[in-house]
């Protein structure tokens, strides 16, 4: 049984109705997408700004109501958006550790909330549990009575992880958990996350725009473009032998030591406009392989090779 | 709290207001102890006695009542009503504001339109209508004044709450299982409380005035009860013949409202975090220079930073952000400066053109020479001539460096015209040409776009176009691609690379990304805690780093194609800049550190092209 199963999950933001005439069609932030994450797996989600990663994450934790589709955690379907119902099963680690902590609350107050509200623990039990969690994320207990502004980014992010752990979830959504951190601290947090996963048998959904990081931590990777899944595959293969031209473009664009500088794309490419989406494949406008078929019919996600799926009419060959 | 009081009393006028209002408060609170006449006992024989008459210090009114006694009683009543009205208005208004701001959407719309309707009435008319409906009386006047001021609080607090409700800690609280009421009370309220206090402190005086106004019209306190407004109202008929009866309460109203307003402004300034962080003290046009020691002699490089020291003086703390940095670029060369946050890379770059905000920044030593001429301490006019003209900057976030209300073409034209004597049309032609140079498609129509109409990559191209506007010799790019997507970053980097090859531009490229440095830069300088720890040709430094910090930092960065793996981390945290350890700043985190590393200054040494600041380098140079 997969830890997380998502079927046809989609979010459309309605647009304002003009004074006269019918309401325009909504903005499709996330187009119907289906995928599953096995227990103990880390599924990486990559994509550039505006590809719908954050909308997806907020739907998965119940902060945003999906327009359609279902979310199942360990076989149990989660109903409408209710963070306190979701909270016991799925937790969230935010991108900016400082702004995810209330500046006027001590760390102890922050840590106690999920224990009290989600699990109804009594005071002595809470104290024991907080000590346990703090030990597991390598934070000293004396930090508990301090305020968020007294911590560096790396420490604040560990507090954010500790808070997510306090709810004893099965799945943690990591939304760009290290992109606000310095590289020397980034590795500390990534290694801590890997350690916690094996220790508590967690399942991760790791959202990021950094290809090298996502490759280093994930088993499988989902590539999003313009609100839709364009490719899913094993982390060690997807960037080495991409099937979708967009995945290929991403892999070529990432700055790599020892590769000479060249723009992998023609100059002056315009990104698709969400208010006025192109018909057919959203990537067709940037794709050198696009034909009339691409511009009229939206490609579906198809099996390509053993464990790779891509949504492309003319996939790249290996 | 004590910091708040110090700040408050540093403001002389606020201190004066506090003293006056405190004196008045002490007086009216001690009324039962003072030897006063009964304020309501009439003695028509003694009417209109002048001030300083025997037994009546301030004289008597038209019914022979003691003015001093009436004044103090009236002041007490007016203050009580004003403060009570402020508290009620703040409580109700803030509750409405938080409610509307937190729930948003339709709730917000309906509630706030109701509040707007309340605001559309002239306030005195509204108060009159409320009193007319409820009947005259001090209590009803209080209700009217409170009701009239509710919209002010509601709108203010709603604005703040809307900003807070979108913050991530509110989402986190929802995920921790907290309900709406609890989130409002424990997450939002503590954060809006300072704003409520500020709003109250600036409106109490106004509310006292409004209550006095209603009483003056005979709608507030009813005779014989005295408050400041009714005293004025009763004295009106004798204003010419016996002016003291109106001057006495008038002066008191003036004193109270003035002192409360002065104090309120002081409270606002001291509490407002934006003002507290120094927004009121405008930064100087150039960074303050207080150089100690000798200025290094001129060299023949295009741009040379020589032994630069820049510090931030914050209160008693002295943060050494840049501690003896020397860098130089030649025409057509790209120099990378790499380091983590707080390593001093941006401050080094901003010091060159005197762009570090002062206060708190101070340049305490060294020189920055452009074609041999020292820019540090140069007069403002000469710096201004070179800013953007000879040395240009590109910043990280183009959305915050472009003005949102002007079209990009106008902003480009302004940059061109500030250094060249061109007409508007000529500047526009040049702006279009610049947009073409940075490969913006349809430059002719894009020139009339506003910044928000462009994508992040387009905006950064405009930022680069602006830097190129006057054909500078040096461009200092401070993390220009950090906020961009990888596909866009690749385009911007290749654009910068073409530009320096075509035009012989010298680029100082500040970044934290080794991949970017490797692709673009000829030489690289690695900074740690305000110092350069290693400098050399990019290839040599990346292939075989000499400083342990460089080596470990490179190991921290995952590289695409490396597969799933444990990443190397550097234990510990970068040092605090006002408490740097003696010797090597990296020693506490370094596995090779010996006793010698923790004492004395360690020089940057090695052959001229590759230098390292380490006693035990990873390899011989």
* Closest by Cβ to A253, choosing from B177, B187, B487: B487
Q: Which residue has the tokens 């094996």?
A: A198
Nearest chain A residue (CA) to B520: A261
Contact residues on chain A for B455, CB-CB shorter than 8 A: 270-271
Regions of chain B short of the pLDDT cut 70: 272-281
Tens digits of residue pLDDT in A177-194 = 988 888 888 888 999 999
Dist. CA B494–CA B520, nearest whole Å: 8
Q: Give ∠ CA A56-A62-A66 in degrees, rounded to 5.
A: 55
Contacts of A46 (CB under 8 A, 6+ apart): A53, A207, A208, A209, A211, A214, A221, A222, A223, A224, A250
Q: Mean pLDDT for chain A?
A: 88
> What is the structure's pLDDT at A263?
67
Say if the Cβ atoms of A182 and B341 lie within 8 Å: yes
* A42 neighbors A217 (Cβ within 8 angstroms): yes
Tens digits of residue pLDDT in A207-246 = 998 898 999 999 999 999 999 999 999 999 999 999 999 9
Q: Which helix (H) or strand (E) holds A214?
A: helix A211-217
pLDDT band at A81 (very low <50, low <70, confident <90, very high): low
Contact residues on chain B for A169, CB-CB shorter than 8 A: none
Q: Does domain B284-384+474-559+566-621 have CATH number 3.40.50.300?
A: yes
Q: Which two tokens stand for residue B292?
A: 């100690």
Say if the Cβ atoms of B573 and A257 lie within 8 Å: no
Dist. CA B421–CA B440, nearest whole Å: 26
Query: Which is more confidently placed, A273 or A205?
Result: A205
Say if the Cβ atoms of B487 and A91 lie within 8 Å: no
Q: Which two tokens stand for residue B339?
A: 């380091």
Tell me how far apart the terminal alpha carbons of chain B are, to the nearest angstrom.
56
Dist. CA B37–CA B212, nearest whole Å: 23
Q: Specify the DSSP class assigned to residue B240.
A: T
Q: Is B493 helix (H, G, I), strand (E, B) or coil?
A: helix
> What is the structure's pLDDT at B188?
94
Contact residues on chain B for A84, CB-CB shorter than 8 A: 174-175, 177-179
* B573 neighbors A152 (Cβ within 8 angstroms): yes
Nearest chain A residue (CA) to B341: A182
The domain segmentation of chain B, as residue ranges, is 64-257, 284-384+474-559+566-621, 391-471
Tens digits of residue pLDDT in A116-159 = 999 999 999 999 999 999 999 988 888 999 999 888 888 899 99
Contact residues on chain B for A233, CB-CB shorter than 8 A: none
Contact residues on chain B for A91, CB-CB shorter than 8 A: 175
Say if the Cβ atoms of B561 and A270 lie within 8 Å: no
Say if the Cβ atoms of B497 and A261 lie within 8 Å: yes
Residue A71 has pLDDT above 80, yes or no: yes
Say if the Cβ atoms of B175 and A167 lie within 8 Å: yes
Dist. CA B475–CA B478, nearest whole Å: 10
- Strand stretches in chain A, DSSP E: 4-13, 27-37, 42-46, 68-73, 76-78, 90-93, 171-175, 203-208, 220-225, 228-234, 302-303, 309-310
Say if the Cβ atoms of A212 and B570 lie within 8 Å: no
The residue length of chain B stands at 621
Dist. CA B488–CA B39, nearest whole Å: 80
Contact residues on chain B for A211, CB-CB shorter than 8 A: 486, 560
Q: Residue B295, exposed/middle/buried by CB under 10 A (0-12, 13-18, 19+)?
A: middle
Number of A/B CB contacts below 8 angstroms equals 206
Q: Is B80 helix (H, G, I), strand (E, B) or coil?
A: helix
User: What is the distance in angstroms between the Cα of B421 and the nearest Cα belonging to chain A?
Assistant: 31
Nearest chain A residue (CA) to B174: A83
Contact residues on chain B for A118, CB-CB shorter than 8 A: 176-177
> What is the structure's pLDDT at B392?
93
Question: What is the architecture of the domain spanning A4-13+26-218?
Answer: 3-Layer(aba) Sandwich (3.40)
Dist. CA A294–CA A273, nearest whole Å: 17
Dist. CA A231–CA A29, nearest whole Å: 17
Q: Which helix (H) or strand (E) holds B307?
A: strand B303-314
Say if the Cβ atoms of B169 and A101 lie within 8 Å: yes
Tens digits of residue pLDDT in B484-498 = 788 888 888 888 898
Contact residues on chain B for A87, CB-CB shorter than 8 A: 174-177
* B529 neighbors B321 (Cβ within 8 angstroms): no
Name which of A63, A150, A32 is nearest A101 in CA terms: A150
User: What is the distance in angstroms between the Cα of A299 and the nearest Cα belonging to chain B?
Assistant: 22
Query: Which is more confidently placed, B123 or A251?
Result: A251
Interface residue of B181, B273, B456, B486 to substitute, partner A, most A CBs within 10 Å: B486
Say if the Cβ atoms of A216 and B563 lie within 8 Å: yes
The β-bridge relationship of strands B391-394 and B474-478 is: parallel
* B62 neighbors B94 (Cβ within 8 angstroms): no
Contacts of A275 (CB under 8 A, 6+ apart): A15, A27
Q: Specify the DSSP class assigned to residue B375.
A: -
Contact residues on chain B for A139, CB-CB shorter than 8 A: none
Most confident segment among A48-57, A100-109, B431-440: A100-109
User: What is the distance in angstroms between the Cα of B306 and the nearest Cα belonging to chain A?
Assistant: 27
The domain segmentation of chain A, as residue ranges, is 4-13+26-218
Nearest chain B residue (CA) to A64: B171
* A158 neighbors B573 (Cβ within 8 angstroms): no
Say if the Cβ atoms of A264 and B490 lie within 8 Å: yes
pLDDT band at A266 (very low <50, low <70, confident <90, very high): low
* Closest by Cβ to B494, choosing from A103, A110, A261: A261
Dist. CA A191–CA A248, nearest whole Å: 28
Nearest chain A residue (CA) to B484: A49
Contact residues on chain A for B456, CB-CB shorter than 8 A: 49
Interface residue of A112, A154, A263, A270 to substitute, partner B, most B CBs within 10 Å: A263
Residue A15 has pLDDT above 90, yes or no: no
User: What is the distance in angstroms between the Cα of A85 and the nearest Cα belonging to chain B?
Assistant: 8
* Closest by Cβ to B489, choosing from A154, A219, A253: A253
Say if the Cβ atoms of A212 and B566 lie within 8 Å: no
> What is the structure's pLDDT at A267?
57
Dist. CA B251–CA A89, nearest whole Å: 67
Interface residue of A16, A219, A261 to substitute, partner B, most B CBs within 10 Å: A261
Contact residues on chain A for B190, CB-CB shorter than 8 A: 102, 104-105
Dist. CA A187–CA A194, nearest whole Å: 11
Interface residue of A143, A182, A242 to substitute, partner B, most B CBs within 10 Å: A182
Contact residues on chain B for A166, CB-CB shorter than 8 A: 176
* B317 neighbors B549 (Cβ within 8 angstroms): no
* A263 neighbors B494 (Cβ within 8 angstroms): yes
User: What is the distance in angstroms between the Cα of A17 and the nearest Cα belonging to chain B?
Assistant: 14
> What is the structure's pLDDT at A27?
85
Indicate the class that CATH gives domain B64-257.
mainly alpha
Say if the Cβ atoms of B175 and A114 lie within 8 Å: yes
Q: Which two tokens stand for residue B136?
A: 């005259």
* B599 neighbors B583 (Cβ within 8 angstroms): yes
Dist. CA B445–CA B398, nearest whole Å: 20
Contacts of B105 (CB under 8 A, 6+ apart): none
* Closest by Cβ to B177, choosing from A118, A153, A211: A118
Nearest chain A residue (CA) to B186: A105
Say if the Cβ atoms of A249 and B167 lie within 8 Å: no
- Strand stretches in B330-419, DSSP E: 334-338, 361-370, 373-374, 391-394
Say if the Cβ atoms of B491 and A211 lie within 8 Å: no
> What is the structure's pLDDT at B317?
81
> What is the structure's pLDDT at B620?
81
Say if the Cβ atoms of A239 and B561 lie within 8 Å: yes
User: What is the distance in angstroms between the Cα of A215 and the nearest Cα belonging to chain B?
Assistant: 6
Q: Which two tokens stand for residue B74?
A: 């009236």
Contact residues on chain A for B177, CB-CB shorter than 8 A: 83-84, 87-88, 113-114, 117-118, 167
Say if the Cβ atoms of B557 and A183 lie within 8 Å: yes
Dist. CA B140–CA A311, nearest whole Å: 71
> What is the structure's pLDDT at A101?
93
User: What is the distance in angstroms between the Cα of A92 and the nearest Cα belonging to chain B?
Assistant: 8
Q: Which two tokens stand for residue B266?
A: 């002081």
Residue B337 forms beta bridges with which residues?
B510, B525
Tens digits of residue pLDDT in B239-293 = 888 898 999 999 999 999 999 999 988 887 777 665 655 555 677 888 888 888 8
Say if the Cβ atoms of A253 and B490 lie within 8 Å: yes
Contacts of B91 (CB under 8 A, 6+ apart): none
Q: Specify the DSSP class assigned to residue B587.
A: G
Contacts of B32 (CB under 8 A, 6+ apart): none
User: What is the distance in angstroms between the Cα of A4 and the nearest Cα belonging to chain B?
Assistant: 18
How distant, in Å, are the alpha carbons of A137, A148, B45, B557 from that of A155?
10, 9, 80, 19
């Amino acid at each position: 049984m997969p830890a997380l199963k998502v079927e046809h999950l989609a979010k459309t933001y309605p647009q304002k109705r003009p004074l006269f005439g019918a309401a325009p069609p909504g903005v499709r932030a996330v187009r119907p997408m289906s995928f599953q994450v096995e227990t103990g797996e880390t599924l990486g989600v990559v994509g550039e700004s505006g590809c719908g990663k954050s909308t997806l994450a907020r739907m998965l934790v119940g902060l945003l109501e999906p327009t359609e589709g279902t979310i199942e955690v360990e076989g149990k379907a989660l109903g409408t958006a209710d963070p306190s119902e979701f909270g016991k099963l799925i937790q969230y680690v935010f991108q900016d550790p400082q702004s995810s902590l209330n500046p006027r609350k001590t760390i102890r107050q922050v840590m106690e909330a999920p224990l009290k509200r989600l699990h109804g623990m009594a005071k002595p039990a809470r104290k024991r549990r907080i000590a346990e969690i703090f030990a597991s994320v390598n934070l000293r207990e004396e930090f508990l009575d301090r305020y968020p502004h007294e911590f560096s980014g790396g420490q604040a992010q560990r507090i954010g992880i500790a808070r997510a752990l306090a709810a004893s979830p099965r799945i943690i959504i990591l939304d760009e958990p290290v992109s606000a951190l310095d590289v020397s601290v980034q590795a500390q947090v990534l290694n801590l996350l890997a350690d916690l996963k094996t220790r508590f048998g967690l399942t991760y959904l790791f959202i990021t725009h950094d290809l090298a990081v996502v490759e280093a931590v994930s088993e499988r990777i989902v590539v999003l473009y313009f609100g839709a899944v364009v490719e899913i595959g094993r982390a060690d293969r997807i960037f080495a032998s991409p099937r979708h031209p967009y995945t290929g473009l991403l892999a070529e664009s990432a700055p790599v030591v020892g590769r000479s500088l060249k723009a992998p794309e023609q100059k002056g490419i315009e990104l698709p406009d969400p208010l006025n989406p192109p018909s057919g494949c959203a990537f067709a406008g940037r794709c050198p392989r696009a034909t009339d078929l691409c511009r009229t019919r939206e490609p579906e996600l198809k099996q390509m090779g053993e464990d790779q799926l891509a949504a492309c009419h003319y996939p790249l060959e290996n | 709290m004590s910091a708040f009081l110090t700040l408050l009393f540093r403001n002389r006028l606020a201190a004066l207001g506090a003293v006056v209002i405190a004196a008045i408060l002490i007086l009216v609170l001690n009324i039962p102890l003072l030897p006063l006449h009964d304020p309501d006992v009439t003695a028509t024989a003694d009417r209109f006695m002048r001030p300083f008459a025997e037994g009546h210090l301030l004289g008597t009114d038209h019914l022979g009542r003691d003015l001093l006694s009436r004044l103090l009683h009236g002041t007490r009543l007016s203050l009580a009503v004003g403060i009570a009205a402020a508290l009620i208005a703040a409580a109700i208004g803030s509750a409405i504001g938080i409610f509307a701001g937190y729930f948003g959407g339709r709730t917000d719309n309906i509630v706030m339109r109701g509040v707007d309707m309340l605001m559309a009435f002239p306030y005195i008319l509204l108060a009159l209508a409320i009193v007319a409906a409820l009947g005259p009386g001090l209590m009803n006047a209080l209700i009217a004044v409170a009701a009239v001021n509710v919209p002010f609080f509601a709108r203010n607090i709603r604005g703040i709450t809307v900003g807070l409700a979108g913050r991530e800690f509110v989402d986190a609280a929802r995920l921790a299982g907290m309900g709406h009421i609890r989130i409002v009370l424990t997450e939002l309220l503590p954060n809006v409380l300072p704003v409520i206090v500020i709003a109250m402190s600036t409106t109490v005086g106004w509310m006292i005035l409004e209550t006095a106004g209603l009483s003056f019209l005979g709608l507030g306190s009813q005779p014989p009860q005295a408050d400041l407004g009714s005293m004025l109202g009763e004295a009106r008929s004798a204003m010419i013949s016996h002016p003291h009866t109106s001057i006495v309460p008038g002066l008191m109203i003036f004193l109270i409202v003035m002192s409360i307003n002065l104090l309120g402004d002081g409270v606002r300034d001291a509490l407002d975090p934006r003002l507290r962080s120094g927004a009121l003290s405008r930064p100087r046009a150039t960074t303050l220079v207080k150089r100690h020691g000798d200025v290094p002699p001129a060299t023949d490089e295009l741009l040379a930073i020589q032994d630069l020291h820049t510090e931030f003086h914050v209160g008693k703390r002295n943060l050494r952000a840049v501690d003896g940095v020397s860098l130089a670029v030649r025409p057509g060369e790209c120099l990378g400066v790499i380091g983590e946050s707080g390593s001093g890379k941006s401050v080094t770059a901003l010091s060159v053109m005197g762009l570090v905000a002062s206060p708190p920044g101070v340049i305490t030593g060294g020189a920055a020479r452009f074609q041999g001429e020292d820019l540090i301490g140069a007069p403002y006019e000469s710096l201004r001539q070179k800013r953007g003209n000879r040395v240009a900057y590109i910043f990280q976030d183009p959305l915050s460096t472009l003005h949102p209300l002007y079209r990009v073409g106008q902003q480009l034209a302004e940059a061109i015209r500030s250094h060249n004597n061109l007409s508007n049309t000529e500047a526009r032609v040049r702006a279009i040409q610049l947009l073409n140079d940075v490969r913006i498609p349809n430059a002719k129509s894009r020139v009339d776009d506003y910044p928000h109409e462009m994508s992040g990559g387009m905006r950064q191209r405009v930022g680069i176009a602006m830097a190129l506007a006057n054909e500078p010799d040096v461009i200092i790019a401070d993390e220009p691609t950090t906020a961009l997507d990888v596909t866009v970053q690749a385009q911007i980097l290749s654009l910068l690379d073409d530009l320096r090859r075509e035009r012989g531009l010298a680029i100082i490229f500040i970044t934290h990304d080794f991949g970017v440095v490797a692709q673009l830069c000829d030489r690289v300088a690695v900074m740690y805690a305000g110092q350069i720890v290693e400098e050399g040709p990019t290839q040599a430094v990346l292939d075989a780093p000499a400083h342990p910090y460089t080596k470990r930092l490179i190991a921290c960065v995952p590289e695409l194609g490396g597969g799933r793996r444990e990443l190397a981390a550097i234990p510990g945290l970068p040092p605090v800049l006002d408490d740097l350890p003696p010797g090597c700043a990296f020693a506490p985190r370094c596995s090779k550190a010996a006793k010698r590393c923790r004492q004395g200054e360690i020089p940057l040494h090695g052959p001229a092209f590759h230098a390292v600041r380490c006693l035990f380098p990873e390899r011989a140079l």
